[in-house]
């Protein structure tokens, strides 16, 4: 797509010209729809549906909270995907990365420590995952037990959220007390001793007060021997609304605990031929604990006709403790590794060892004001506000897999008989205690921002979106072990501009430009190094620029919704090490990455009793330039594909309702091939997984039986994790 950026620029300019030329003919009279107050929540109809409703997951939301402005999605000149979580709960999924498999433009990987999600070629784990608009930074696994839906705003979103990797933003919307949702209790049982129970009690006490309690308890094993986890989640909430419904206040608390035996076995290219993918490699003392406590209070108030005030305060604390062996390098009977290097642990997998205790804390205060007004013939739907946040991260790490401590503590495992294992000699001096820490740091990140966004209706057909955000931020790191400190402060201005042409109500064509920034190479919160050259901090922040064109459409009298988009993203000022081996503390700035692609998605009703949802994404993510001067020309990354990014992704789910209370579903998820490293030496094969389910739902009872991986296909969901073989889940719910 060498023409993409130039073409997109020309289309933006031409579209802008149409807007300007049409202003003279703008209609000064507003329609009834334009005069209406913009909603801040998706349509009540969807919200009121129970999770087991046969069509709930096949009806699109009109708005998305991730946009922060209450506007219809068709008025937003960027791609927005909304995924109802109950669709995946049907098959027993709880991980965010599993739920996003096959989503157009989204690549997922497995990491026992965090989610492993990339959007349009760029990693979202560090800065770009939110819950109810609050950044969930730091390293830990996220449960979706009390999540209503997942929203993805694709492309740079710094105008709304500040620092970002630039591929997109994920927002998880929590289930909170309301005046419409039903209550339910449920239980499920499935393959691999998967057992659990759920409660979702939502009660309107009167016209003003509602309370809700969402909870889940589960205990399950994996298809991999010796692997399993248990979960406890409890989330109470309360909501108040005034008699005139102009004031809405809600407060929610969530406690979530995941206790896991980590599954960090050998990668795809290190598992010897003949070893079953069902083999687990966890040691007897391997363990990971993820604990999260979060509190959020939220106020919405209509203080004047068409003007709304919103304020939210949130505090989140997460803790992760892991202690385990992981990975593994195979040594053949002839004393050779898979890459041809010599080894002396013949017939064994050699696993590395690490432990870590990480605390993440986020305090955020945010407010915004949205309103509608006119200047002459122009109508403005404006939002302005401010965000303040403090984020703390304290990792204490015992890393014996790399650096000067590598090789002290290994575990050797026979992959054909995992009970045949031994430890390296270094363990004998520990007497069963945990090895000493190798690093301990404390990072403190503060940010203050102000933002403004305006949707300008030039007439009934032409709209222009303008946005700008100013961020002031400072990061500081205290290296506790080495007793050294360093801080970094800067500011950034993030713009976006977009145009929409809506010739008829059901069609919205758009084009946009947006920019994101990521200070200190996107690693500010992970830690400002106390050892590298300070001049690196003075370099311009890493930033992404995106050009996008697309169309959002309604078909069949609004029953079917589609999105089609083309985009071009360039990431600039990437930090790199000219010589990571000889000069590990030297970094430079200047590399570029580029992602170009096409995405198409659809959801809705195509026949009286037939519903569909799915999409396809093509992502061409490459190293645009590699300016390192200390490596050979043939070793530079110019033109290489970005690691872990599937070129093709897609999914298709079809739900058929032959009679009123019964339904059947068949779905396919496709993940294309990708390279495991930026050097593009090993390529993972693509895969397609088929899933199916049958369900029943009446006013009181609901039941489903779902089959995941219907054909029992053997595949690898990522380089570090095989896909689950065929498995079953029976779920029953009582509604009241």
Model pLDDT for residues 432-459, shown as the tens digit of each residue: 889 999 999 998 989 999 999 999 999 9
Q: Is the pLDDT of residue 399 over 70?
A: yes
Q: Given pLDDT bands bounded at 50, 70 and 90, which one contains residue 538?
A: low
Cα 46 to Cα 44: distance, rounded to the nearest angstrom: 5
Furthest-apart CA atoms within the chain: distance in Å: 84
φ/ψ of residue 642, rounded to 5: -70, 140
DSSP 520: G
Per-residue model confidence (pLDDT) at position 581: 62
What mean pLDDT comes out for the span 3-16? 36
Per-residue model confidence (pLDDT) at position 284: 85
pLDDT tens-digit readout, 599-648: 999 999 999 999 999 999 999 999 999 877 777 787 888 999 999 999 99
Alpha carbon 174 to chain centroid, angstroms: 15
φ/ψ of residue 427, rounded to 5: -70, -25
Phi-psi region at 641: left, alpha or beta (left = phi > 0; alpha = psi -120 to 50) = beta
Token output for 359: 């605390």
Cα 257 to Cα 235: distance, rounded to the nearest angstrom: 12
Q: Given pLDDT bands bounded at 50, 70 and 90, which one contains residue 21?
A: very low
Per-residue model confidence (pLDDT) at position 606: 96
Per-residue model confidence (pLDDT) at position 487: 85
Q: Given pLDDT bands bounded at 50, 70 and 90, which one contains residue 31?
A: very low
Q: Is the pLDDT of residue 76 over 90?
A: yes
Instruction: Give the whole-number percent of the chain exceeding pLDDT 70.
Output: 90
Q: Given pLDDT bands bounded at 50, 70 and 90, which one contains residue 403?
A: confident
φ/ψ of residue 644, rounded to 5: 75, 5
Q: Given pLDDT bands bounded at 50, 70 and 90, which one contains residue 127?
A: confident
Cα 86 to Cα 56: distance, rounded to the nearest angstrom: 8
pLDDT tens-digit readout, 202-222: 999 999 999 999 999 999 999
Q: Is the pLDDT of residue 11 over 50?
A: no
Under a CB-based contact definition with an 8 Å cutoff, are residues 251 and 297 in contact? yes
Per-residue model confidence (pLDDT) at position 662: 96
pLDDT tens-digit readout, 256-298: 999 999 898 999 988 999 999 999 999 888 999 999 999 999 9
For tokens 């594909």, the residue is 641
For tokens 């589960």, the residue is 218
Q: Is the pLDDT of residue 702 over 80?
A: yes
Q: Is the pLDDT of residue 340 over 60?
A: yes
Return the higher-pLDDT residue of 516 and 51.
Answer: 516
Bridge partner residues of 228 (DSSP): 221
Under a CB-based contact definition with an 8 Å cutoff, are residues 212 and 201 in contact? yes
Per-residue model confidence (pLDDT) at position 223: 95
When computed from its CA atoms, the radius of gyration of the chain, rounded to whole angstroms, is: 26
Whole-number average pLDDT of the chain = 88
Token output for 134: 């609050």
Under a CB-based contact definition with an 8 Å cutoff, are residues 97 and 112 in contact? no
Cα 558 to Cα 577: distance, rounded to the nearest angstrom: 52
Collapsing DSSP to helix, strand or coil, 637 comes out as coil
Closest-CA residue to 127 (of 521, 574, 512, 529): 521
Per-residue model confidence (pLDDT) at position 29: 38
Q: Given pLDDT bands bounded at 50, 70 and 90, which one contains residue 534?
A: low
pTM: 0.89
Token output for 592: 């570029």
Per-residue model confidence (pLDDT) at position 407: 81
Q: Given pLDDT bands bounded at 50, 70 and 90, which one contains residue 10?
A: very low
pLDDT tens-digit readout, 240-257: 999 999 999 999 999 999
Q: Given pLDDT bands bounded at 50, 70 and 90, which one contains residue 724?
A: very high
47-51, 110-114, 515-519: range with highest mean pLDDT? 515-519
Token output for 393: 């991260």
Per-residue model confidence (pLDDT) at position 112: 79
Non-local CB neighbours of 203 within 8 Å, separated by 6+ positions: 183, 210, 211, 212
Q: Given pLDDT bands bounded at 50, 70 and 90, which one contains residue 339?
A: confident
pLDDT tens-digit readout, 313-337: 999 999 999 999 999 999 999 999 9
Residues in the chain: 736
pLDDT tens-digit readout, 544-585: 999 999 999 999 999 999 999 999 999 998 877 776 666 666
DSSP 59: S
Per-residue model confidence (pLDDT) at position 50: 76
- The DSSP line for 419-466 is EEEEE-GGGGGTTTPPPPPSEEEEEEEEEEEEEEEEEEESSSSEEEEE
pLDDT tens-digit readout, 163-201: 888 999 999 999 999 999 999 999 999 999 999 999 999
CA dihedral sign, ordered 520, 522, 524, 529: negative
Cα 318 to Cα 305: distance, rounded to the nearest angstrom: 40
Per-residue model confidence (pLDDT) at position 518: 86
Token output for 213: 């309690």
Per-residue model confidence (pLDDT) at position 9: 36
Under a CB-based contact definition with an 8 Å cutoff, are residues 413 and 351 in contact? yes
Under a CB-based contact definition with an 8 Å cutoff, are residues 488 and 476 in contact? yes
Per-residue model confidence (pLDDT) at position 35: 33
Distances (CA, A) of 517 to 45, 118, 129, 471, 624: 38, 17, 16, 10, 18
Per-residue model confidence (pLDDT) at position 136: 84
Q: Is the pLDDT of residue 485 over 70?
A: yes
Under a CB-based contact definition with an 8 Å cutoff, are residues 306 and 332 in contact? no
Distances (CA, A) of 610 to 145, 211, 607, 659: 29, 36, 5, 11
Q: Is the pLDDT of residue 20 over 50?
A: no
Under a CB-based contact definition with an 8 Å cutoff, are residues 619 and 120 in contact? yes
- For 496-506, letters b (16+ CB in 10 Å) and e give bbbbbbbeeee
Closest-CA residue to 717 (of 88, 281, 82, 111): 111
What mean pLDDT comes out for the span 130-141? 82
Per-residue model confidence (pLDDT) at position 585: 65
């Amino acid at each position: 797509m060498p023409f993409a950026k130039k073409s997109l620029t020309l289309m933006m300019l031409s579209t802008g010209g149409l807007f300007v030329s049409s202003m003279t003919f703008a209609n000064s009279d507003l329609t009834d729809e334009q005069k209406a107050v913009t909603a801040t929540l998706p349509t009540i109809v969807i919200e009121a549906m129970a999770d087991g409703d046969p069509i709930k997951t096949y009806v699109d939301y009109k708005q998305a909270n991730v946009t922060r402005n209450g506007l219809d999605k068709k008025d937003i000149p960027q791609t927005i995907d909304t995924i109802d979580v109950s669709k995946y709960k049907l098959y027993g999924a709880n991980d965010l990365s599993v739920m996003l498999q096959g989503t157009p433009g989204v690549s997922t990987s497995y990491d026992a420590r965090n989610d492993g999600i990339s959007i349009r070629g760029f990693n979202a784990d560090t800065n770009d995952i939110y819950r109810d608009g609050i950044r969930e930074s730091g390293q830990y696994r996220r449960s979706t037990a009390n999540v209503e839906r997942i929203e993805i705003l694709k492309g740079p979103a710094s105008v709304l959220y500040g620092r970002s990797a630039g591929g997109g933003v994920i927002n998880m919307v929590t289930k909170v007390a309301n005046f419409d949702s039903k209550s339910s209790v449920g239980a499920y049982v499935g393959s691999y001793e998967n057992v659990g129970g759920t409660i979702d009690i939502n009660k309107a006490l009167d016209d003003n007060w509602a309370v809700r309690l969402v909870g889940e308890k589960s205990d399950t094993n994996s298809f991999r021997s010796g692997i399993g986890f248990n979960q406890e989640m409890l989330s109470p909430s309360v909501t108040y609304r005034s008699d005139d419904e102009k004031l809405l206040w809600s407060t929610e608390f969530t406690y979530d605990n995941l206790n896991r035996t980590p599954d960090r076995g050998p990668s795809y290219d290190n598992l010897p031929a003949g070893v079953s993918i069902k083999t687990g490699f966890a040691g007897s003392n391997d363990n990971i604990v993820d604990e999260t406590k979060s509190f959020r209070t939220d106020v919405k108030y209509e203080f004047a006709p068409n003007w709304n005030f919103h304020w939210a305060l949130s505090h989140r604390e997460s803790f992760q403790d892991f202690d385990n062996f992981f990975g593994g390098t195979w040594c053949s009977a002839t004393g050779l590794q898979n890459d041809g290097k010599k080894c002396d642990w013949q017939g064994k997998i050699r696993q590395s060892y690490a432990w870590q205790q990480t605390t993440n804390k986020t305090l955020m205060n945010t407010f915004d004001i949205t309103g509608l007004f006119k200047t002459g013939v122009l109508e403005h739907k404006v939002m302005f506000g401010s965000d303040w946040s403090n984020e703390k991260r304290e990792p204490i790490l015992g890393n014996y897999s790399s650096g000067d401590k590598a090789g002290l503590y290994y575990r050797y495992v026979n992959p054909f008989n995992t009970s045949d294992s031994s430890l390296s000699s270094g363990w004998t001096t520990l007497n069963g205690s945990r090895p000493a820490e190798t690093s301990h740091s404390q990072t403190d990140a503060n940010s203050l921002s102000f933002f403004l966004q305006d949707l300008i209706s030039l007439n009934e057909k032409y709209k222009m979106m303008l946005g700008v955000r100013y961020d002031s931020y400072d990061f500081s790191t205290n290296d506790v072990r080495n007793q050294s400190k360093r801080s970094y402060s800067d500011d950034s201005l993030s713009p976006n501009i977009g145009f929409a042409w809506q010739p008829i109500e059901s069609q919205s064509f758009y084009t946009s430009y947006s920019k994101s920034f990521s200070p200190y190479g996107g690693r500010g919160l992970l830690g400002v190094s106390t050892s590298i050259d300070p001049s690196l901090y003075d370099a311009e922040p890493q930033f992404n620029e995106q050009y996008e064109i697309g169309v959002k459409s309604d078909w069949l009298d609004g029953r079917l919704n589609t999105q089609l988009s083309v985009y071009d993203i360039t990431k600039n000022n990437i930090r790199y090490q000219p010589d990571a081996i000889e000069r590990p503390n030297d970094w430079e700035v200047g590399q570029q990455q580029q992602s170009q692609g096409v995405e198409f998605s659809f959801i809705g009703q195509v026949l009286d009793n037939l519903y569909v949802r799915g999409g396809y994404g093509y992502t061409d993510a490459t190293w645009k330039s590699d300016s390192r001067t200390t490596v050979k020309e043939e070793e530079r990354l110019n033109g290489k594909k970005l690691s872990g990014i599937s070129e093709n992704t897609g999914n298709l789910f079809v739900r058929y309702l032959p009679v009123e209370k019964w339904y059947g579903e068949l779905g396919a998820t496709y993940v294309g091939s990708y390279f495991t490293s930026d050097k593009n030496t090993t390529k993972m094969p693509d895969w397609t997984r088929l899933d199916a389910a049958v369900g029943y739902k009446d006013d009181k009872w609901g039941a489903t039986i779902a089959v995941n991986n219907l054909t029992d296909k053997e595949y690898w969901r990522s380089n570090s994790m095989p896909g689950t073989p065929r498995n079953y889940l029976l779920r029953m719910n009582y509604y009241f």
